[in-house]
Amino acid sequence: MIRLGMIGCGYWGPNLLRNFNGLDGVEVRVVADRVPARREFVAKGYPGVALVEDADVVLGDPAIDAVCIATPAASHFALVKQALEAGKDVFVEKPLALRTADAVTLTRLAEREGRVLMVGHSFLYNAAVREVKRRIDAGELGNVYYLYAQRLNLGIVRGDVDAAWNLAPHDVSIGCYLVGAAPKTVSATGIRALQPGEGGLDDVVFMSIGFENGVSMHVHVSWLDPQKVRKITVVGDKKMIVYDDVGSDKLFIYDRGIVRGDPVPLEQPTDFARFKMITRAGDLTVPEIKVPEPLNVQCRHFVDCVKTRAKPLTDGHNGTVVTAVLEAAGLSARAGGAPMPIEIPQ
């Protein structure tokens, strides 16, 4: 039996609590939250769970084997560090940290202490995303040219982190997973419509990431948009795939592309291309995919890693890569969109 403590039960915490509490072999013993209303919420729904205000009570309890941290992003580094030093295995919501150096420190600390450190990049536990990855790795799309992601909605407007740090960790983690190569450079621009001025936060962010294998990714995130969109498009030279997270059908596979035809004769100097480019239009396939709740799959994975001491799919290094991309993107946005190298210490 894994004895679990939770720190934070605000916006996303209840979903984690519901999933961990429903797993066999897990006992959620205590939840820490500073807000009385959140403790009341837990008391009504989970009467057997102890409630405390201070996270130190959870981290200092030798009876707790593992902790789940679902607090504001700025608090992640200190809480994860304290938990690892206390000998706890740790699940922490994204992002792992707000500075790459801090993410590296936590990753190395977990390795040194022999602790499991897992970051909540939940879309890597989504069956539809994994199916896209399977098809890319099987060569079904051919050579991937580029991909782009849209994560848009009207609200929830955050006051602690901007749209990039709040929304883009999902798409950055998915992009790195699908491409299978390290991100090399990033450029970004933001729009401060609701929270302008010095010290304001970007409500809309446009980001371009270049990977070491030559693939490019564009990311558009916003909490100021009329539509709810959660979509990723991957374009290859054989096929193209669209993953739509909010649609009833999750995947659309297009057997379409552009093929190079015969060379253009030299006696036709007015032609705009050396080769004729011919559009190839094939079938549209909509595969039926069963998608279990990704959060449940993610929580089960953490529990399995705690039991077997295996390395999680979204381990500290995975979290460090995402943090490095977002930190470099912030530098780029402040530099007017200038490309920035992505430094990921080993």
Instruction: Please tell me the predicted confidence (pLDDT) of residue 294.
Output: 97
Instruction: Please tell me the predicted confidence (pLDDT) of residue 199.
Output: 85
Distance CA 311, CA 302 (A): 9
Q: Is residue 167 part of a domain?
A: yes
Clarify whether residues 237 and 112 are in a common domain. no
Instruction: Please tell me the predicted confidence (pLDDT) of residue 260.
Output: 74
End-to-end alpha-carbon separation of the chain, Å? 34
Instruction: Please tell me the predicted confidence (pLDDT) of residue 264.
Output: 59
Q: Is residue 25 part of a domain?
A: yes
Clarify whether residues 196 and 337 are in a common domain. yes
Clarify whether residues 191 and 210 are in a common domain. yes
Instruction: Please tell me the predicted confidence (pLDDT) of residue 257.
Output: 86
Cα angle at 295 between 288 and 59, to 5 degrees?
A: 170
Clarify whether residues 152 and 257 are in a common domain. yes
Tens-digit pLDDT profile for residues 101-150: 999 999 999 999 999 999 999 999 999 999 999 999 999 999 999 999 99
Clarify whether residues 190 and 337 are in a common domain. yes
Instruction: Please tell me the predicted confidence (pLDDT) of residue 282.
Output: 86
CATH of the domain at 229: 3.30.360.10
What percentage of the chain's residues is helix, strand, coil (to nearest 5)? 35, 30, 35
Instruction: Please tell me the predicted confidence (pLDDT) of residue 270.
Output: 55
* Residue ranges making up the domain that contains 172: 124-291+327-341
Q: Is residue 57 part of a domain?
A: yes
Clarify whether residues 37 and 91 are in a common domain. yes
Q: Is residue 346 part of a domain?
A: no
Burial 300-312 (b: 16+ CB within 10 A, else e): bbbbebbeeeebb
The H-or-E segment that residue 128 falls in is helix 127-137
Sheet holding 50-52, edge to edge: 50-52, 26-32, 2-7, 66-69, 89-93, 117-120
**pTM listed for this prediction:** 0.93
Clarify whether residues 106 and 166 are in a common domain. no
Clarify whether residues 140 and 229 are in a common domain. yes
Clarify whether residues 274 and 319 are in a common domain. no
Clarify whether residues 129 and 240 are in a common domain. yes
- Residue ranges in the chain modelled with pLDDT below 70: 261-275
Structurally, the chain folds into a number of domains equal to 2
Percent of the chain with pLDDT over 70: 95
Clarify whether residues 116 and 165 are in a common domain. no
Contact 243, 223 (CB under 8 A): no
